Structure 1
Amino acid sequence: MNVLIVVTTISLFISLFLAFFLLTVKTKHKTSNALFAVFLIIMAIDVSEYLFNLTVDGPSNLGMLRGMFAFLQIPVFYLYVLSVCYSDFKLQPKHLLHLLPFLVANIILIPHFYGVDGASKISFIENRQHMIELQFNHILIHIQLMAYIVAVFMILRKAKKLYLENYAGASVNSYHWLFQFTVLLTILYLITLLKNIFKFSDYPYISEWIKIGLLVFQLFIVCWYLFKALNNPGLFRNIDSKLKLTSDIILEQKNNDQLAVTNEEYNEELVRLKKYMAEEKPFLNPSLTIQDISNDMDIPTRELSVLINHQLGQHFYDFVNTYRIENAMEILKDVTKTKVTVLEILYEVGFNSKSSFNTAFKKHTGNTPTAYRKYL
């Protein structure tokens, strides 16, 4: 019991402290920060169950409402992911539809819980395993969780692909981080599902032990996020949600009977592109986008995207990194630059992350930059 109090208190403190920080820090990502702060506050409300029960006598409307806030947790996280992935995301009236499961779950409790006296509330909780309202709500929240988790993974998959097709910065690593965070949350929710199965079984005591494990795991997730946030203050570079995947552009062309560029036009544009990359060296810009090249070369972004991502069979991200790596290889081969460090080289050729440079270099050459220089 003492361990449970300590873990709950620590988890509450960290969640609320981080939420306060996100709401007060000066940043251009106010919407994302506010949404994640709300997510943490809802998580804190969920975690507070044990401390809340110590302060009240018996079941109450406030206690039931506290439990129903779980219906808001995953929808808020879904909106947070949207706001992180897309730079033009704005909260709109249509997003209020995400409140529907929360409202439905509370409305069906009015006749037999919210609207009755204390004795009836106690009877309702004592017979919770047979109460159709609670059974319905547990089924509803699990359907909601699965649907939103699938939706979040689909958003991350599309956003990462759009980033690779249109940007050449280091922020793609941030999508890996958000993917990992979503995986951890998915594990948390799956364990919660297991807990609830035992809660309505003949072994409810197992549910209580799982609940303690969930509190510890939830505390770990919050601390992990805090560690990541403090060490990576500029985690994300959002993309424009109006951007389309190359596969969708090609499909549109086929559906509209639009002919793609001819082989001759394709070859001409490819020669222009390679000459531009070699002479102008735009890849030295660590924040280069396909729009930047489109503007400089006066080629529509859609055509340039199809040229690189489809015709060349490379993501824009890999296409640009190829030039960066080849430039880095030239520097590493230069005997007059043996004193130039690998860190200095990666910044010089357009990378702004050591990990992304090492990954790209090994993918291109089969060796790390240090090993490549050593065996020249």
Structure 2
Amino acid sequence: MFPNFNIYSTPLLILVIQGLILVGLLFKRYVEKKNTSDAILAILLLITCYQQTCYTVGFMGWYDTFRNTKINYFLIPAATSIAPLIYLYVKSITKSNFKFQTQHWWHFAIPITLVIYRLAIYTYDSVQPGFHETQNGVLKIIVDEDIVQRILVVVDFSVMLLYLAFTIQLFVNYRQKIKQYFSNVFKLELNWIRNFLIIFSALFLYSSVQTVVGNLFIDLSYKERWWLNLALAICTIYIGLKGYFTDTTKLNKLDFSFSPKEISIPETSKESKKEISKTAIEAIATLMEREKPFLNPDLNLSELAKQANVTRAQLSEIINSGFQMNFNDFVNSYRINTFKSMLKEGKHKQLSLLGIAYECGFNSKATFNRVFKKLTNFSPTQYLQSLAK
């Protein structure tokens, strides 16, 4: 009898309710602040909650009690809409001033087509004799179940695989790019997006194996498919919570419209190029040593370019070609050298190692430890111990 609260329905019900609350909060914030990423994430959660609701009421006994429910007409393969939404969400928070444009609708051509198709066969079946006494009508059985559903298995897998690859590539490129612009990237690394993509990729692999087993070997029951639905719900709630409570608008006011590898300082000859490069390198090194801009934890490429009286493209070219480093490593190398100098002066007798690191321009313990290990092959504690020998 419906409703039946059990070990299968109750966890899904709790997650669906949490998801719907997040949907409301995200849409509210979108109305107030017009952040495109909030709207995309809200729609992503809404679709996931709809899918999970269909499974939840099934485990609660709805379909056994009301056997003529027409839910099968309105269960569209989730991957065809969730995959592009994940891609666009990651793009919206890793690209400055992202706006949803008309061409982005093409990402949803397949799910929109499927919705129209399902409405069409529902309309036809609904006027056939005996439709209200059964769950599936004529076209749903002989066309959708026997033909289209088999095709959708391949389409579903292909869409998810393609968009996951695009999203991972987009995120990796973003992680590499921010090192060319920011001296402290810890708050911009979006590790929760990385974690989500790893978990979601693992669930996609699990789902693919389950689909192959279910279609080719044994018929898997609702209860055997329950674990995947639970994991997907938890995974989606994770990104929903992180997306709501994390400021994902950090890049909105930044302009990444140039490529350091394509734009360089203009030169007229090889000789002048050598002279300009040498002069530019010395000028930047002098600025770093005298003015110590690296002590500012929020230092970025634009700010340093203004202080050096060069363009961002020119500064990026000088650092990458002249110092053989990206912007992040370049600035942090000065911070590490300053930290080492302070240790030699006995600063650690007054402040903790982390306190000294903050004075040198770092803004997180994780970044400091990682950078120090990368540039010295020692941990900060090991380096301090080596000075005492």
Taking structure 1 as the reference length, the TM-score comes to 0.86
**Residue 370 of structure 1, aligned match among 370, 373, 381:** 381
Structure 1 residues 9 and 327, CA, compared in 2 at 3 Å: closer, same or farther? Answer: same
Q: Which amino acid aligns with 2:151?
A: F
Q: Using the alignment, how far apart are the partners of 1:120 and 1:93 within structure 2? A: 38
Which deviates further from its counterpart, 68-77 or 92-101? 68-77
Structure 1 residues 112 and 35, CA, compared in 2 at 3 Å: closer, same or farther? Answer: closer
Q: Which amino acid aligns with 2:171?
A: L
Q: Residues 140-155 of structure 1 correspond to what in structure 2 (within 5 A)?
A: 140-155=155-170
Q: Which amino acid aligns with 2:73?
A: M
**Residue 17 of structure 1, aligned match among 18, 21, 32:** 21
Q: Using the alignment, how far apart are the partners of 2:33 and 2:349 within structure 1? A: 41
**Residue 132 of structure 1, aligned match among 147, 161, 166:** 147
1:108-157 Cα shifts (integer Å, max 9, x gaps): 44554452133582556666896211122222222211111111112112
**Residue 257 of structure 2, aligned match among 243, 251, 262:** 243
- Indicate yes or no: 2:246 matched with 1:216: no
Shift in Å at residue 30 of structure 1?
2.6
Q: Which amino acid aligns with 1:47?
A: Q
Q: Which amino acid aligns with 1:45?
A: Y
Q: Residues 126-275 of structure 1 correspond to what in structure 2 (within 5 A)?
A: 131-171=146-186, 174-205=189-220, 208-222=222-236, 224-225=238-239, 233-234=246-247, 237-238=250-251, 240=254, 242-249=256-263, 262-275=273-286
Structure 1 residues 157 and 110, CA, compared in 2 at 3 Å: closer, same or farther? Answer: same
Q: Percent identity?
A: 22
- Whether the 8 Å contact between 2:305 and 2:312 is mirrored in structure 1 is yes
Q: Residues 4-43 of structure 1 correspond to what in structure 2 (within 5 A)?
A: 4-24=8-28, 30-43=35-48
Q: Using the alignment, how far apart are the partners of 1:317 and 1:51 within structure 2? A: 48
- Indicate yes or no: 2:62 matched with 1:55: yes
**Residue 293 of structure 1, aligned match among 299, 304, 319:** 304
Q: Using the alignment, how far apart are the partners of 2:79 and 2:214 within structure 1? A: 16
Task: Count matched residues.
Answer: 371
Q: Which amino acid aligns with 1:5?
A: S
- Whether the 8 Å contact between 2:347 and 2:356 is mirrored in structure 1 is no
Shift in Å at residue 168 of structure 1?
1.4
Matched position secondary structure for 1:262: helix
Which deviates further from its counterpart, 209-218 or 265-274? 209-218
In structure 2, the residue matched to 1:358 is 369
Matched position secondary structure for 1:246: coil
Structure 1 residues 248 and 202, CA, compared in 2 at 3 Å: closer, same or farther? Answer: same
- Whether the 8 Å contact between 1:78 and 1:148 is mirrored in structure 2 is yes
- Whether the 8 Å contact between 1:291 and 1:301 is mirrored in structure 2 is yes
Shift in Å at residue 336 of structure 1?
4.8
Shift in Å at residue 97 of structure 1?
1.6
CA RMSD, 1 decimal: 3.3
Q: Which amino acid aligns with 2:136?
A: K
Structure 1 residues 115 and 287, CA, compared in 2 at 3 Å: closer, same or farther? Answer: farther
Shift in Å at residue 365 of structure 1?
1.6
- Whether the 8 Å contact between 2:259 and 2:313 is mirrored in structure 1 is no
1:191-214 Cα shifts (integer Å, max 9, x gaps): 222333334334122x64552111
Shift in Å at residue 61 of structure 1?
5.4
Q: Which amino acid aligns with 2:56?
A: L
Shift in Å at residue 334 of structure 1?
1.8
1:228-264 Cα shifts (integer Å, max 9, x gaps): 568x7346732746434433447xx9xxx99797111
Which deviates further from its counterpart, 337-346 or 103-112? 103-112
Q: Using the alignment, how far apart are the partners of 1:351 and 1:336 within structure 2? A: 16
Matched position secondary structure for 2:8: helix
- Whether the 8 Å contact between 1:164 and 1:172 is mirrored in structure 2 is no
Structure 1 residues 341 and 84, CA, compared in 2 at 3 Å: closer, same or farther? Answer: same
Q: Residues 56-95 of structure 1 correspond to what in structure 2 (within 5 A)?
A: 57-58=66-67, 63-68=72-77, 70-95=79-104
Q: Using the alignment, how far apart are the partners of 1:52 and 1:165 within structure 2? A: 50
Q: Using the alignment, how far apart are the partners of 2:271 and 2:8 within structure 1? A: 64
Matched position secondary structure for 2:158: helix
Structure 1 or 2, whichever has the larger Rg, is: 2
In structure 2, the residue matched to 1:313 is 324
Q: Using the alignment, how far apart are the partners of 2:24 and 2:77 within structure 1? A: 23
Q: Using the alignment, how far apart are the partners of 1:178 and 1:222 within structure 2? A: 11
Q: Which amino acid aligns with 2:116?
A: I
Q: Using the alignment, how far apart are the partners of 2:370 and 2:16 within structure 1? A: 38
Unaligned stretches of 5+ residues in structure 2: none
